[in-house]
């Protein structure tokens, strides 16, 4: 079962990323130390696409 967008956003925030804002349903998160950027799209209750889950997981592993 895929994660919800809100669950993925909570993971990113707990890992120390900051919400930089966005346009429409897109939100940009920036890592406070490395400056890496991740864009999350969709509403909070939507299912997270697999490609987005993979990108978030990879970004969290590379930027602890």
The per-residue pLDDT for 52 is 94
CA distance 59 to 43: 21
C-beta atoms surrounding 44 within 10 Å = 12
The arithmetic mean of pLDDT across residues 13-27, rounded, is 93
Tokens, residue 39:
């864009």
**For the chain, domain boundaries:** 5-62
For 5-62, which CATH superfamily applies?
Answer: Hypothetical protein. (3.30.920.30)
Tens of pLDDT, residues 31-57:
988 999 999 999 999 999 999 999 999
pTM score? 0.86
CA distance 22 to 1: 27
């Amino acid at each position: 079962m895929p994660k919800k967008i809100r669950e993925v956003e909570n993971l990113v925030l707990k890992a120390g990323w900051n919400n930089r804002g966005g346009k429409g349903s897109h939100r940009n998160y920036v890592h406070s130390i490395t400056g890496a950027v991740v864009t999350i799209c969709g509403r909070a209750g939507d299912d997270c696409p697999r490609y987005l889950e993979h990108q978030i997981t990879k970004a969290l592993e590379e930027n602890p």
